[in-house]
Amino acid sequence: MAERARAALDAGLALGAHPAYPDREGFGRRDLPLPPLEIRDAVRAQCEALLAVIVRAGGVMRHIKLHGALYHRAHRDQAVAEAVADAVIALNPELIVVGLAASRLAEACVERGLAFAREVFADRGYSADGHLLPRGVAGALLAADAAAAQALRLFTDADTLCLHSDSPGAEQTARRIRRALEEGGVAVQPMSLGGRP
């Protein structure tokens, strides 16, 4: 974590935490039946561990975005959304929480006065009802040109977008998306603490 934090700071990037279920074997992509208070404590502990590394590197943590199955659960489960929002408040109420606009997590953050960044996914396909297509389904992962077109189309209703760095060709896709956004008049900039991103 220290090596990555220093590299990100050297590149002028905004640093954030990406906490998940405590499930290394499943890479956080399995939904675990943990109670909300246990989720609150896990999110806080993961974020505190990264925060200590960032502070030692001379940086600032700016945002938090849940990972994998916990990301999706917090968007539909009120108690989990509240637990996550409470973990963020305990850590730093100036942090920006990243997630889906129409979600329980967005509501919990707004109710608590937390800044919330509406997110769309550039490199993932959506179903007709607006949900992400499951990985492994045809059209679930988009190639660079399709991801760039989708990012530009969806960004009008968002503050930030997600691109999965573990997808094949992610670096090329990131460059293509950035070029499309800049050509479309969208200013690409790091998130800032407090208020809207």
Q: 8 and 98: one domain?
A: yes
Q: 85 and 128: one domain?
A: no
Which residue range(s) make up the domain with 62?
A: 1-121
Nearest to 62 by CA among 120, 122, 119, 13: 13
How much is the pLDDT for 5? 95
pTM confidence score: 0.90
Half-sphere exposure of 49 (CA within 13 A, CB side): 8
How much is the pLDDT for 187? 86
Residue 83 Cα distances to 44, 76, 88, 105, 124, angstroms: 10, 13, 9, 9, 27
Q: 49 and 135: one domain?
A: no
Q: Report the phi/psi class of residue 164: left, alpha or beta, with left for phi > 0 and alpha for psi in -120 to 50.
A: beta
Q: How is residue 79 written in tokens?
A: 């108690």
In a domain, residue 197? The reply is no
- 191's CB contacts (< 8 A; 6+ apart) are 14, 16, 62, 63, 96, 117, 160, 197
Residue 77: which CATH number? Answer: 3.20.20.370
Q: Residue 187's CB: how many other CB atoms inside 10 A? A: 6
In a domain, residue 107? The reply is yes
Instruction: List, as one string, the DSSP characters of 159-194.
Output: SEEE--TTSTTHHHHHHHHHHHHHHTTPPP----SS
Q: 55 and 139: one domain?
A: no
Q: pLDDT 10s per residue in the chain (197 long)?
A: 999 999 999 998 889 999 999 999 999 999 999 999 999 999 999 999 999 999 999 999 999 999 999 999 999 999 999 999 999 999 999 999 999 988 999 999 999 999 999 999 999 999 988 888 988 899 999 999 999 999 999 988 899 999 998 888 999 999 999 999 999 998 888 766 544 44
Q: What is the DSSP letter of 124?
A: B
Q: 2 and 90: one domain?
A: yes
How much is the pLDDT for 41? 98
In a domain, residue 84? The reply is yes
Q: How is residue 196 written in tokens?
A: 């809207």
Question: Which of 105, 121, 137 is a domain's end point?
Answer: 121
Question: Which of 71, 106, 121 is a domain's end point?
Answer: 121
In a domain, residue 161? The reply is yes
In a domain, residue 113? The reply is yes
